[in-house]
């Protein structure tokens, strides 16, 4: 079978992460890249910064056998590209993904899909009529521990959920990304949109759409005016307490962490510094083996799945549908409104 041909736009942390993952998948080849930065176009990725681990960025990438563009639009127009993978900062997503879908390409776009509800509306209309497949990097849905925990809960094995907390805390990213765009609330949406979206999306993945959200935040700690640390309570009008916390205000030397604790009727499911464990109420503690070597992260799993779907003509729906991506975006926008109003509950529409 022919390999799926991918073009990546944006060679920062996510673009280079995707580039590396594609190199290790059998049925895909990167045939083009585009970046506004001339250093990146030469393959020099030494300035790329990763908040979660990260590979060796001192070795330049070899682009001698692929096409290299300055503009994403040129890459979209390249006939050899089947899949356009968009990894530029958030304000660039809408224009590129709409152009690529209108050109009949398959599109994988990094999260957050866009910056506000007006942009979302335009995107929804185009995605609805697109011939190509469309997916967004809500990678934590595919992260092995989160995926396993959700299966445990939705299968009924762990029983009803009493309470759940998801947490995602990053060191301060000031001065780290291209043009320091994360610290500009207008472009990134602050930690609330850029980082905490993952957990808002997980809440929807695990429990469906909340009725209301109440978000408290502190702004302007490290960014210009964004919410740099937030805590949200998601109200489902039942007896379950669901919370999420996210922030990027910690000192630069603090390691990144993402964790959760889900207290269910029959077990407590935890991801923390002690690893991923299921603590059954009868005293047994399980540490499930999640086949982590083959596809160790949600990034590997989501891209591997999307490429398989393109290769085999299957509409991607394993981790999420476009509709679910739009819905969790509406939840995070409700959280933004609530945070602006000191935690006042906001209905999710
Ligand atoms: N899924 C995840 O876990 C995850 C993690 C980090 C970032 N992200 C998302 O990925 C996207 C990119 O973030 P990043 O951390 O890689 O940023 P980054 O700052 O590391 O890299 C951005 C890259 O885009 C290039 N660029 C900027 N504008 C461009 C344009 N108009 N055309 C072509 N190239 C352009 C820059 O030169 C740079 O190489 C963001 O939407 C971010 O929210 C997702």
Q: Supply the CATH number for residue 176's domain.
A: 3.30.360.10
Task: Provide the token pair at 47.
Answer: 């300035």
Question: Are residues 262 and 223 both part of a single domain?
Answer: yes
Structure tokens at 105: 């390409």
pLDDT > 70 in the chain, percent: 97
Residue to mutate, 7, 8, 13, ligand 1, most ligand atoms under 8 Å from C-beta: 13
- Determine whether the shortest distance from the Cβ of 34 to ligand 1 is under 6 A: yes
Does the pLDDT of residue 129 top 70, yes or no?
Answer: yes
Is the shortest distance between the CB of 332 and ligand 1 below 6 Å? no
C-alpha torsion 88→94→95→97, nearest 10 = 80
Which whole number is the average pLDDT over 250-273? 97
Peptide bond into 112 cis (omega under 30): yes
Contacts 24+ apart (CB under 8 A), 26-31: 27/1, 27/3, 27/307, 27/308, 27/311, 28/3, 28/4, 28/307, 29/3, 29/4, 29/5, 30/6, 30/66, 31/5, 31/6, 31/7, 31/66, 31/67, 31/78, 31/80, 31/81
Question: Rounded CA gap, 169 and 246, in Å?
Answer: 5
Give mean pLDDT, residues 88-101. Answer: 98
What mean pLDDT value characterizes the chain? Answer: 96
Residue 11 pLDDT grade (very low, low, confident, very high; cuts 50, 70, 90): very high
Q: How far is the CA of 89 from the centre of ligand 1 (A)?
A: 4
Residue 260, domain extent: 140-295+328-347
Residue 93 CA: nearest ligand 1 atom is 41
195 domain residue, yes or no? yes
Q: Are residues 275 and 156 in the same domain?
A: yes
Ligand 1 mean position, distance from CA 177 (Å): 8
Q: Is the pTM of this model over 0.95?
A: yes
Rounded Cα distance between 238 and 82, Å, is 45
CA distance 94 to 101: 11
Total number of domains constituting the chain: 2
Ligand 1 pocket, residue 113 CB under 6 Å: no
Q: Do 113 and 209 share a structural domain?
A: no
Q: Whole-angstrom Cα distance, residue 151 to residue 288?
A: 12
Instruction: Please give the pLDDT value at position 55.
Output: 64
* One domain for residues 153 and 122: no
Question: Are 278 and 286 within 8 A, CB to CB?
Answer: yes
Whether residue 249 is found in the same domain as residue 217: yes
How many other C-beta atoms are found inside a 10 Å radius of the C-beta of residue 25? 17
CATH number at residue 110: 3.40.50.720
Ligand 1: does its nearest atom lie under 6 Å from the Cβ of 7?
no
Q: Let me know whether 190 and 255 are in one domain.
A: yes
**Boundary of a domain, candidates 110, 136, 162:** 136
**244 vs 49, higher pLDDT:** 244
The closest residue, in CA terms, to atom 21 on ligand 1 is 12
How far does residue 178's CA lie from ligand 1's centre (Å)?
Answer: 8
Measured from the CB, is residue 248 less than 6 Å from ligand 1? no
> What is the pLDDT, as a whole number, of residue 340?
98
**Percent of the chain with pLDDT strictly greater than 90:** 95
- Token readout for 197 is 């979206």
Q: Which alpha helices (DSSP H) does 208-321 contain, by range?
A: 298-312
Query: For residue 338, which of 188, 163, 164, 213 has the smallest C-alpha distance?
Result: 213
Q: Could you tell me the distance, in angstroms and rounded to a whole number, from the CA of residue 21 to the centre of ligand 1? A: 16
How far does the centroid of ligand 1 lie from the alpha carbon of residue 86, in Å?
Answer: 8
Report whether pLDDT(53) > 70.
no
- 159 and 241 fall within a common domain: yes
Q: Is the pLDDT of residue 82 over 60?
A: yes
Answer yes or no: is 310 within a domain.
no
Overall average pLDDT of the 136-162 stretch = 97
Q: What is the mean pLDDT of residues 74-91?
A: 98
Rounded distance between C-alpha atoms, residue 202 and residue 140, angstroms: 7
Say if residue 67's pLDDT is above 60: yes
150/226 same-domain check? yes
The answer as to whether 317 is a domain residue is: no
Q: Is 12 in the pocket of ligand 1 (CB under 6 A)?
A: yes
Query: Which ligand 1 atom lies nearest to the CA of residue 182?
Result: 19
Same domain, 203 and 342: yes
Q: Is the pLDDT of residue 52 over 90?
A: no
Determine, yes or no, domain membership for 304: no
Q: Which atom of ligand 1 is nearest to the CA of 178?
A: 19
- Report the separation in Å between the CA atom of 279 and the middle of ligand 1, taken as the mean of its atom positions: 38
């Amino acid at each position: 079978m022919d390999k799926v041909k991918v073009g990546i736009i944006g060679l920062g942390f996510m673009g280079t992460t995707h580039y590396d993952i594609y190199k290790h998948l059998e049925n895909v080849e990167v045939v083009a890249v585009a970046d506004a930065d001339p250093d990146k176009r030469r393959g020099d990725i030494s300035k790329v910064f990763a908040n979660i681990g990260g590979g060796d960025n001192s070795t330049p990438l070899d682009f001698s056998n692929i096409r290299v563009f300055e503009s994403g639009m040129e890459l979209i127009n390249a006939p050899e590209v089947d899949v356009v993978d968009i990894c530029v900062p958030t304000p660039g997503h809408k224009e590129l993904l709409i152009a690529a879908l209108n050109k009949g390409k398959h599109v994988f776009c990094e999260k957050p899909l866009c910056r506000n509800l007006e942009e979302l509306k335009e995107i929804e209309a185009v995605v609805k009529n697109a011939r190509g497949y469309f997916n967004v990097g809500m990678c934590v849905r595919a992260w092995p521990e989160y995926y396993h925990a959700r299966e445990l809960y939705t299968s009924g094995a762990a029983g009803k959920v009493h309470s759940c907390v998801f947490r995602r805390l990053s060191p301060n990213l000031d001065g780290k990304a291209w043009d320091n765009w994360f610290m500009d609330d207008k472009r990134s949406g602050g930690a609330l949109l850029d980082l905490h979206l993952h957990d808002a999306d997980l809440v929807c993945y695990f429990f469906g759409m909340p009725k209301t959200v109440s978000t408290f935040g502190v702004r302007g700690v490290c960014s210009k005016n964004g919410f740099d640390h937030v805590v949200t309570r998601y109200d489902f009008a039942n007896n379950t307490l669901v919370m999420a916390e996210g922030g990027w205000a910690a000192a630069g030397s603090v390691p990144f962490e993402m964790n959760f604790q889900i207290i269910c009727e029959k077990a407590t499911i935890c991801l923390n510094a002690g690893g991923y464990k299921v603590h059954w109420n009868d005293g047994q503690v399980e540490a499930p083996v999640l086949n982590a070597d083959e596809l160790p992260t949600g990034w590997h799993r989501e891209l591997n799945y999307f490429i398989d779907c393109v290769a085999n003509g299957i509409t991607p729906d394993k981790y999420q549908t476009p509709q679910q991506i739009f819905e969790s975006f509406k939840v995070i926008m409700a959280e933004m409104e609530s945070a602006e109003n000191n935690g006042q509950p906001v209905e999710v529409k």
